[in-house]
């Protein structure tokens, strides 16, 4: 796992603590688990992730910037479920990161997403 993703996992662990469920990175060919909470590391989850990655690759923003510039570019998409929040960070056409958290952490979501995004941005070095 490269330094950027290690930094993201550390930030999520610091901010969400035990509410951090999982993090996965995907690209055009495959996916990699960056973190999976022990109670969720099941065969069912492992079987579900390839389909999740496939849908994430195909996901299109509800409002594309070229269609309406008033919102600016999409930073992340969020899916709120009964037990969890999924945050999808795009890193290109066919790549990205999906972070899952227990639903309790959704209170300060905008600030949290911005901090995660800052870590995921490639450095200018």
pTM: 0.83
Residues of the chain with pLDDT under 70: 110, 123-125
For 109, the token pair is: 């979501």
Residue 111 has a pLDDT of: 77
Residue 30 has a pLDDT of: 94
91 within a domain of the structure (yes/no): yes
Q: Where are the alpha helices (DSSP H) in 29-85?
A: 43-58
- Domain harbouring 9, CATH code: 3.30.450.190
Per-residue pLDDT of 55-89, as tens digits, reads 999 988 888 888 999 998 888 999 988 889 999 99
Write the CA distances from 65 to 71, 72, 110, 121, integer angstroms: 7, 6, 19, 19
CB 87 within 8 A of CB 68: no
Residue 33 has a pLDDT of: 96
What's the domain range around 56?
A: 3-120
Write the CA distances from 74 to 32, 60, 64, 81, integer angstroms: 23, 10, 8, 21
Rounded percentage of the chain residues whose pLDDT exceeds 90 = 64
125 within a domain of the structure (yes/no): no
CB 76 within 8 A of CB 112: no
Q: Where are the alpha helices (DSSP H) in 1-125?
A: 3-16, 43-58, 109-120
The count of residues in the chain is 125
* Total domain count, the chain: 1
Q: Is 90 helix (H, G, I), strand (E, B) or coil?
A: strand
Residue 91 has a pLDDT of: 92
């Amino acid at each position: 796992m490269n330094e950027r993703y290690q930094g993201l996992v550390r930030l999520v662990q610091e901010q969400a603590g035990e509410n951090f469920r999982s993090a996965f990175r995907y690209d055009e060919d495959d996916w990699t688990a960056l973190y999976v909470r022990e109670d969720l590391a099941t065969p069912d989850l492992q079987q579900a992730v390839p389909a999740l990655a496939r849908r994430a690759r195909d996901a299109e923003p509800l409002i594309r910037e070229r269609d309406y510039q008033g919102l600016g570019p999409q930073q992340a998409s969020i899916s709120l479920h009964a037990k969890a929040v999924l945050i999808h960070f795009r890193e290109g056409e066919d790549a990205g990161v999906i972070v899952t958290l227990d639903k309790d952490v959704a209170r300060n979501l905008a600030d949290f997403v911005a901090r995660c995004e800052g870590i995921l941005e490639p450095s200018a070095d």
